[in-house]
Structure 1
Amino acid sequence: MVQLTEVIDEYFQEGQPGPEEDDDFTDTDSEISTESDYDPTSETFSERLYALRDIIAPTTRASIANKVNATADTFKSVLSFSGKTLWVLSSSALLLGVPWALAWAEEQQVMEMEKEMKMREMGGELLTAGNAAGSPTADQVGAALGREAQPAL
């Protein structure tokens, strides 16, 4: 059977060369205090997110940054294209729609004038037909035209 024996090296038992032990010595550059100056209520949300950046691996951060930039670029392109499209449609509507609307309104006026002319022709035919049978009165002519008789001055 194998028996283990501890061998003590005298080299490790000797003191190390250097300054003497000092009770106030620490290996950190900062002062150690029992009271903390850290106040978590003074941190903003963005500072907390920025502090968490080291949790995510650099390759993952680069991938996320690339995706965010690609999404922002796509969004800008869509907004730019939709703005240009809206400009083309509105200017086309003004250049084509306004003259068309004016022509349509003029056509409606012409149609109304034609209707009025036909009504006058019909009224004139009633007057000429009435002369053959007897002379109509002003009330009869007005009734034929759909108007009330106006008193003579």
Structure 2
Amino acid sequence: MVQLQEIVDEHFQEGQAGPEEDDADYTDTDSEISEESEYDPSDETLAERLYALRDMVPPQTRGYIANTVSTAGNAVKSVLSFSGKTLWVISSSALLLGIPWALAWAEEQQMLEMEKEMKMREMGGDLLTAGTGSSEGSTAQQVGAALGQEAKPAL
């Protein structure tokens, strides 16, 4: 039968190279931080505090949150881009089509006013040359009849 025998390596019997076994040099890091630390929490910004909390959230949740924020950011970017393009199309269409139409309409209104003024001058001249002895009535009534309106006295 085979018999197993443990052989102890001399390397494991020797002491490890490094600091002495003196406990005076040993310090507890927790007590050192709490007692002798120069850390001032009032110097910390909100962003630094939130960044320090990232390890409290599991990686899957952090990934979900990051994907959700990225998707929302892309959606906002797309909406703003589409809105800007739409605004550009509307404003350029208004400039190219609306302004010439408005100018033509204003010119047409001006022409109508000029024609109306010419008719009134023509009628005024006819009234003056016809004299005051006409049996048709007062001048205001004659002007109103020519324009298709009924003359009303001013109050």
- TM-score, normalised to structure 1's length? 0.65
Output the amino acid matched with 1:82.
Answer: S
1:24 counterpart residue number? 24
Output the amino acid matched with 2:124.
Answer: G
In 1: Cα distance, 2:131 partner to 2:36 partner: 119
**Which structure 2 residues correspond to residues 1-153 of structure 1 after superposition, within 5 A?**
18=15, 21-26=21-26, 33=32, 34-130=35-131
Aligned residues: 120
Runs of 4+ in 1 over 6 A off after TM superposition: none
CA RMSD, aligned part only?
3.1
**Runs of 5+ in structure 2 lacking a partner?**
1-12, 144-155
- Identity across aligned pairs (percent)? 65
1:68–1:128 distance in 2 versus 1, CA, 3 Å: same
Output the amino acid matched with 2:49.
Answer: R
**Runs of 5+ in structure 1 lacking a partner?**
1-15, 135-140, 146-153
| Secondary structure of 2:36 counterpart | coil
Larger fraction in helix: 2
Output the amino acid matched with 1:120.
Answer: R
Residue 128 (structure 1) shift: 4.9
Residue 45 (structure 1) shift: 1.3
| Secondary structure of 1:51 counterpart | helix
In 2: Cα distance, 1:18 partner to 1:27 partner: 22
Residue 25 (structure 1) shift: 5.0
- TM-score, normalised to structure 2's length? 0.64
In 1: Cα distance, 2:15 partner to 2:80 partner: 70
